[in-house]
Structure 1
Amino acid sequence: MTVEVGKQVKDFTLPSHSGEEVSLSDFKGKHVVLYFYPKDMTPGCTTEACDFRDQHDSFAELDAVIIGISPDPVESHQKFIDKHDLPFLLLADEEHQVAEDFGVWKLKKNFGKEYYGIERSTFILDKEGILQKEYRKVKVDGHVEEALQFIKENL
């Protein structure tokens, strides 16, 4: 089952970089920007995380929280946050269950090898937890500004 624009997103709970359990329902009453990314410390993922970091205050002014999700373990997320001074939650989806629910756990190819991994994607939920916008197969350049603009104009 994947998520659908205009529908309620099913609640989930994952461990955060600090080890505490975080549920999507914890953010009811705020807009939520959920972004799925393949791997901590890789070039594209670092650029995307730093772009979200640099726009964090702009999202906060619109009552929006940013949450990053990848299959990396909690310890990796904490190092990523420490190294790049990230001011938002990173959640560990090591069993990729939430990624599967969002339809972003995909068969990928790289240098002739096939493997499963995260297809970079972002989902914007309104204050009631209803999916308002999805960005799939995200290209990093300009993406964060596009997501911010969507919230400014539509939520």
Structure 2
Amino acid sequence: MPAIDKEEAGQIVNDARIEQGLTWRELAQHIDKPLVWTVAALLGKHPVPRESAQAIVEKLGLADDVITALARQPYRIADVDLATDPTVYRFHEALDVYGQALKELIHEEFGDGIMSAINFNVDFAKHEDPQGDRIVVTFNGKFLPYQW
């Protein structure tokens, strides 16, 4: 039987999670990893440490080939189709509108450099508001100065 790839493993995990009525947060807590990182990793964007992959597979009752697929190093490439999803597109739109301003502020506050997406954390929260619940997304990246 041919090995499954990371994308297929992610679909298998997500289908099993939904079928069993589990949330992403419950899976993240089960392996003691950050919520957003866990979702991204289980969907194929990060290599999942073998012991964490094993714990997920056991919790969901999946085959061992899912462990191998989850543990593999991913290809991190842009997905043109995903960019057209309305939720994902709004992140692109927000960066189109605020990206230049954020770049200016990074340079003003930190100097000539960038925010790392490798030494990086991202957090997600729901903020209840009487005028409509709010989505709070926090990017927390190390400042990397340009070195000439």
* Shorter-chain TM band: under 0.3
Of structures 1 and 2, the one with the larger relative CO (CA 8 A, separation 6+) is 1
Give the structure with the larger strand fraction.
1
Give the structure with the larger helix fraction.
2
Q: Select the structure of larger CA radius of gyration.
A: 2
TM-score (norm 2): 0.27
